[in-house]
Amino acid sequence: MKKIAVLISGQGSNLQAIIDACETGFIPAKIACVVSNKAEAFGLERAKSAVIPTQVFLRQDFANNAEMDNAIGDYLQSMEVDLIVLAGYMKILTAAFTQRFCSKILNIHPSLLPKYAGLNTYRRALEAGDTEHGTTVHFVNEEVDGGAIILQAKVPIFPDDNVEEIELRTREQEYRIYPMVIKWFAEDRLCLKDGIAYLDGKPLPKQGYASE
């Protein structure tokens, strides 16, 4: 059974969806640890409730980002994790870290990448007058919100929507598609080769699969 590490910075709602999916057996893997760069992150409490080991790494305890990421990497290696899942981890990983764990890091981003990389995606979509938004699961590389796209889910934006309504609608899809992609990885159906995502031995299209 594969071991997963989940990196968080806040509430950990995606973490909870992953915990639930592991407990029901939907994801045939074990969460070996939860790592946070914020000591007050509520996601740590979610992990403790599920009896999952937690570890906090604070930026102030290290001389630079490289030292911090190296320490996190050493910890994850000691836990013998097979997959690193970013679930609201609000710190940019160093290139050295992403290269060290190349093909073993997943992220979920609240937009239909490559559109709206970065922050404030819901507001940006609303202000642009978009009629749809969505979320993307992708492999992580040294580029912020870059890496091969695996799966996307779209949600509608209605004329009278506000930011909170778009976020709620998008998060519902996140809780559905992130466990699905992690399941594929745990079942050895999903991998990354030469920067291209493969599912069941076939290369995925540039925009990944569209989830219905």
Tens digits of residue pLDDT in 120-146: 999 999 999 999 999 999 999 999 898
**Is 133 part of a structural domain of the chain?**
yes
Q: Which domain holds residue 107?
A: 2-190
**Is 203 part of a structural domain of the chain?**
no
**Is 209 part of a structural domain of the chain?**
no
Average pLDDT over residues 114-124: 95
**Is 161 part of a structural domain of the chain?**
yes
118 is in an annotated binding site: no
Is pTM beyond 0.75? Reply is: yes
pLDDT at position 209 is: 87
In this structure, what are the phi and psi dihedrals at residue 126, rounded to the nearest 5 degrees? -65, -45
Residue type, 196: I
Question: 127: closest CA among 137, 118, 136, 116?
Answer: 116
Among the listed ranges 26-35, 65-74, 111-120, 203-212, which one has the minimum average pLDDT value? Answer: 203-212
User: For residue range 19-37, what is the model confidence (pLDDT) as tens digits?
Assistant: 999 999 999 999 999 999 9
103 is in an annotated binding site: no
CATH number at residue 114: 3.40.50.170
90 is in an annotated binding site: yes
pLDDT at position 65 is: 98
- Give dist(CA 56, CA 40) in Å, integer: 10
- Give dist(CA 127, CA 211) in Å, integer: 25
Question: 29: closest CA among 183, 189, 151?
Answer: 183
**Is 211 part of a structural domain of the chain?**
no
Candidate list 104, 109, 138, 183, residue with the active-site label:
109
Number of domains in the chain: 1
Tell me, yes or no, if 133 is annotated catalytic.
no
91 is in an annotated binding site: yes
**Is 107 part of a structural domain of the chain?**
yes
**Is 206 part of a structural domain of the chain?**
no
